[in-house]
Amino acid sequence: KADSYTNWENTGLDGHTAGHYISALSMYYASTGDPKAKEMLEYGLAELDRVQKANGNGYIGGVPGSDALWAEIKAGKINAGSFSLNDKWVPLYNIHKTFNGLKDAWIHAELPQAKRMLTELTDWFLDITSDLSEAQIQDMLRSEHGGLNEVFAEVYAITGDKKY
């Protein structure tokens, strides 16, 4: 709806600040009860929900070339370096911020749509990685992946669903 922020947000790490924004609003609202923060948070979640529904598969993210990247990963084509995955700049680190923002909106702000969006995003990730071998997963995780492991453990703790 607006021009991208400059620097990292429009040079390959597109979308990651949305997760930070959702996390910050969630914690601010939880600690202050400020209704304006809740309004802003609900608006941000509604926009991310719109994106998730438009994608139709649970994915929410701004990684440039996402469709091709995640199709390659699902097909088992993995070329990971410390700061790249299939020639993209740290896409796992990037989407971790979205996962974490949704988790914070559920845990701290107690917004039910955040839990639904988080589990749909996690289901998407399970789908694209379900046919990968342990070696392929480990290779993929050579790329900077932020706190994905922690978020997945928290999704399990939130839902109690062993698939996570």
Buried b (16+ CB within 10 A) or exposed e, 107-125: bbbebeebbebbbbbbbbb
Q: How far apart are CA 20 and CA 26, in angstroms?
A: 10
Q: Is residue 2 part of a domain?
A: no
Asked if the model's pLDDT at residue 139 lies above 70, the reply is yes
Mean pLDDT of 12-36: 89
Q: How far apart are CA 29 and CA 110, in angstroms?
A: 10
Q: What is the pLDDT of residue 64?
A: 87
- The band of 12, judged by pLDDT with boundaries at 50, 70 and 90, is low
Q: Is residue 164 part of a domain?
A: no
Asked if the model's pLDDT at residue 92 lies above 80, the reply is yes
Q: What is the pLDDT of residue 30?
A: 98
Q: Is residue 123 part of a domain?
A: yes
Q: What is the pLDDT of residue 44?
A: 96
Q: Is residue 66 part of a domain?
A: yes
Q: Is residue 1 part of a domain?
A: no
| Better-scored residue on pLDDT, 72 or 14 | 72
Asked if the model's pLDDT at residue 150 lies above 80, the reply is yes
Q: Is residue 103 part of a domain?
A: yes
* Domain carrying residue 111: 8-159
Asked if the model's pLDDT at residue 43 lies above 90, the reply is yes
Q: What is the pLDDT of residue 62?
A: 85
> DSSP secondary-structure letter at 161?
-
Q: Is residue 3 part of a domain?
A: no
pTM of the shown model: 0.92
Q: What is the pLDDT of residue 8?
A: 57
Q: What is the pLDDT of residue 17?
A: 80
Q: Is residue 138 part of a domain?
A: yes
- φ, ψ for residue 80, nearest 5 deg: -110, 140
Count of domains forming the chain: 1
Largest CA distance in the chain: 47
Strand segments (E) across 66-116? 80-81, 84-85, 88-89
